Amino acid sequence: MKKFFIFAVLVLTSGAFIGLIVDEGVNSTTMTGGDERGQLMWGIVDCIVVLVCFFHCRQLVRVASRQPWILAFVGWATLSLAWSDFPMLTLRRVAGLICTMALGFLLGMRLEMKPLLRLLAWALAFTMPASLIAALFFPAFGLMHRLDAVGWRGVFSHKNGLGNAMGIALIAFACLLWESRRKPLRYILPLVTGLGLLALSRSMTSIVVTLLTLSIGCYLRLRLRPAHKVALYALALVAALGVGLFLNGRMHSVFALVGRDSSLTGRIPLWHFSANAMLERPLLGSGWDAFWPGKGGDKIRNLVRWPAPHAHNGFLELGLNVGLIGLAIFLVAYYRSFRLALRYSNDPTQPLRLWPLLFYSYTLLSNFTEAPPIDRHTLTFLLFCSLSVSMTETFAVEAIEHEREPDMPYLPFAVESNAGIIQESL
């Protein structure tokens, strides 16, 4: 039951099958009411999370105390109830945010990195054949039918959802493939399938960011000597200059080639108006998730002349909701987690340790043109919290074992009591 619940939550938080549960005509970002079926589903999930937290409250408090900046950000979002334009809406969605954070802490506390990565990879792999079936046999559901959005969406609500899920899946399976020494075919097949679905989604942000992230992973896997690194940097610089000279004056043709325009499908004017709106309430914002359902969101949608659900930029979105103070807290939390991931990836003998660094790189790059990685009931925020906890607790255990090494040459990781967690390998 535990494995099934985690598997189901990973699938649902990725955005898969949500369109079969909620009414697609209800935009939960721009409407205060929401969908009753969706609220019921997430309400059941959140109640289970609260129940599990009750049984592990002492360990959870100890683990959460080591994540001060994530707690500070969620606390600031909760505090925004005091000035929110829609207090009840903010209250409901902050409750979901808190439960998502708690579930992330629980996953990082109870599961080791590799078993959790495997569960994630196979949960996303489960959506691959389902998306193929949906697009091929049920095109009314599996394909986008909008003039401004053409491509496959599979079992997701939007093609960007499919692209984002396949991007994370490709990174996860790539790390498992690098780590694997036997039966690589079980990872190669979903890699090929995921790559095909990513291309068919035509989500340019996901395609570009995934390729960049995998390139970073391959570079780190090369273990180049300093002289080779300098040569590679020089070659990359020359190539970038050549591409820049080639694209000079040809940007309209390039955008047309990939089915886009020079405004990035309306994003540039959206960013301009969103930045101006953020400066109207720069420090506090409008309250968590309270900007787009209000007059400010309606004004921007009228100006850009399309139903923008969010700012399509994570930094602007956070600034609109929780102001520059909330954005600064998030950036500090992200910086701390990214530093942990850099330190965690230093062991060249364990390719799996690249996973957190690649995930945080992927979310950072996606943040420039898509929604923020921190939101309720989203896979990115769930993984953001769980990976931060897992790395923090791993370093804590390693420090304790290093201090006790002269007296206790070996202490199993899974039963270290002073670390505050008991991780399971499943």
List per-residue pLDDT tens for the chain, 426 residues long: 888 999 999 999 999 998 888 766 555 555 566 678 888 899 999 999 999 999 999 999 999 999 999 999 999 999 999 999 899 999 999 999 999 999 999 999 998 889 999 999 999 999 999 999 999 999 888 898 766 667 899 999 889 999 999 999 999 999 999 888 777 788 899 999 999 999 999 888 899 999 999 999 988 887 666 665 666 656 666 666 665 555 555 555 555 555 555 556 678 899 999 999 999 999 999 999 999 998 989 999 999 888 888 888 999 999 999 999 999 999 999 999 999 999 998 876 788 899 999 999 999 999 988 877 788 999 999 999 999 999 998 888 777 776 766 555 544 444 444 444 556 555
Task: Indicate whether 228 belongs to any domain.
Answer: no
User: What string of H, E and C letters represents the secondary structure of 218-265?
Assistant: HHHHHCCCHHHHHHHHHHHHHHHHHHHHHHCCCHHHHHHHCCCCCCCC
d(CA 275, CA 198): 30
Task: Indicate whether 246 belongs to any domain.
Answer: no
Residue 145: CB atoms within 10 Å: 10
Task: Indicate whether 233 belongs to any domain.
Answer: no
In 3D, which of 22, 44, 48 has the Cα closest to residue 33? 22
For the question of whether the overall pTM of this predicted structure is more than 0.95, the answer is no
pLDDT at site 417: 42
d(CA 175, CA 353): 8
Q: What is the tally of structural domains in the chain? A: 1
Task: Indicate whether 279 belongs to any domain.
Answer: yes
Residue 30's Cβ-count burial label (10 Å; 0-12, 13-18, 19+) is middle
Task: Indicate whether 258 belongs to any domain.
Answer: no
CB 198 within 8 A of CB 140: no
Long-range contacts of 297-305 (CB under 8 A, 24+ apart): 297/30, 299/273, 300/270, 300/273, 300/274, 301/30, 303/269, 303/273, 304/266, 304/269, 304/270, 304/273
CB 29 within 8 A of CB 292: yes
Q: Tell me the residue range of the domain where 190 lies.
A: 2-223+265-415
Task: Indicate whether 250 belongs to any domain.
Answer: no
pLDDT at site 411: 47
d(CA 90, CA 112): 33
CA distances from 255 to 3, 244, 259 (A): 44, 14, 6
Task: Indicate whether 247 belongs to any domain.
Answer: no
Residue 383: CB atoms within 10 Å: 27
pLDDT at site 140: 86
Residue pLDDT, tens place only, 114-146 = 999 999 999 999 999 999 999 999 988 889 876
In 3D, which of 149, 163, 153, 150 has the Cα closest to residue 205? 163
pLDDT at site 231: 67
Residue pLDDT, tens place only, 319-364 = 999 999 999 999 999 999 999 999 998 876 788 899 999 999 999 9
Q: Provide the residue type at 382 as one letter.
A: L
Task: Indicate whether 343 belongs to any domain.
Answer: yes
pLDDT at site 333: 95
